[in-house]
Amino acid sequence: MSDFIVNIDETNAAQLLIEESQNRPVVVDIWSARSPASAEMTPILEKIATEYNGAFLLARINADEQAGIAQQLGARDLPTLLVIENGQPVDGAAGAQDESQIRQLLAKYLPKPWDGQLQQGLEAMQQGDFTAALAPLRQAWTESGKEYQITVAYVQALIECHRLDEAEAVLSEIRLADQDAAYEQLNAQLALKREAAKSPEVEALEQQLEANPDDMDVRHQLAVQYTNLGQFKEALEQLISILRQDIDHGEGATKKTLLDTIATLGKGDPLAAEYQRKLFSLLY
């Protein structure tokens, strides 16, 4: 046994089933060696308990040895699964349950694996540090299967960091049924940021580059302007296109600008990883 998997008997039942359930959910597995279904369910519960690492207590009750406790808890079929919170059973299931059924039952009472990352990102946003919020929010967004409320926070952080193309790409994945007032507000913010990002300097460089696509110096200047505006994908694409033509352009200045831009995005950023791979393929 461990700190989060215990065997229940008369000496510890009150402490672990009632008192401990004031602090965290207690998941009770009432089992019997005579029940094949119990033998199948127990390792699944132990795996999930280990995965959550103490977020809940798995309390195992051998109905053959602790018949009185099992009866008090209302177990009629074996195995029986109960969830206890604040000293009271709040949910449960009788009979054999597969892993997906068990996870579905427990999910209502257990913290999500991504809750810590989400909280870290939201706290950074509250402090105005949107750059620090990006990585944990991205992780929470990915791990949650792109849960809508997390998507809203993630897009907000992207917009505040002027990563407008990425924000637009994430917004485009939101289902029509979820496109509520928050979605409309983010779209409006995105449009305003795009309008504000237009500058005479950038427009002049874009026109020069359109007139002469082979002018690598103008392309480099435009990439720097894009970086200053937070348009990192556009900046990186311009820089990598220069390096495809001349890996040592500007006596290495373009390569350094690319590496500096990647570093600005931060470790673990998928856009940074994408252009690190592209640079690596050019170098090796």
Q: Whose CA is closest to 122, among 110, 139, 108?
A: 139
Give the tens place of pLDDT for each residue, 26-69: 999 999 999 999 999 999 999 999 988 888 999 999 999 999 99
Say yes or no to pLDDT of 184 above 60. Answer: yes
Q: Quote the CA–CA distance of 275 and 234 in Å, as a whole number.
A: 12
Domains along the sequence of the chain with CATH: 5-107 (3.40.30.10), 115-197 (1.25.40.10), 200-283 (1.25.40.10)
Q: Among 5-9, 179-183, 265-269, which stretch is predicted with the lowest mean pLDDT?
A: 265-269
pLDDT value of position 1: 56
What band does 276 get if pLDDT is binned at 50, 70 and 90? very high
Q: Quote the CA–CA distance of 223 and 152 in Å, as a whole number.
A: 29
Q: Whose CA is closest to 115, among 153, 75, 60?
A: 153
List b or e across 35-66, with b for residues whose CB sees 16 or more CB atoms inside 10 angstroms: beebeebbebbbebbeebeebbbbbbbbbeeb
Q: Among 159-163, 243-247, 261-265, which stretch is predicted with the lowest mean pLDDT?
A: 261-265
Give the tens place of pLDDT for each residue, 203-234: 899 999 999 999 999 999 999 988 888 788 89
pLDDT value of position 227: 86
Q: Among 15-29, 156-170, 189-203, which stretch is predicted with the lowest mean pLDDT?
A: 189-203
Q: Quote the CA–CA distance of 171 and 175 in Å, as a whole number.
A: 9
Say yes or no to pLDDT of 268 above 80. Answer: no
- Give the mean pLDDT of the chain: 91
pLDDT value of position 41: 93
Q: Output the CA angle 186-230-234, nearest 5 degrees.
A: 100
Q: Whose CA is closest to 78, among 91, 65, 64, 68?
A: 64
Calculate mean pLDDT across residues 141-152.
94
Decide: helix, strand or coil at residue 2.
strand
Residue with tokens 């046994």: 1
Say yes or no to pLDDT of 270 above 70. Answer: yes
Query: What is the residue type of 229?
Result: L
Calculate mean pLDDT across residues 157-172.
91
281: Cβ–Cβ under 8 A, 6 or more apart, which residues?
none
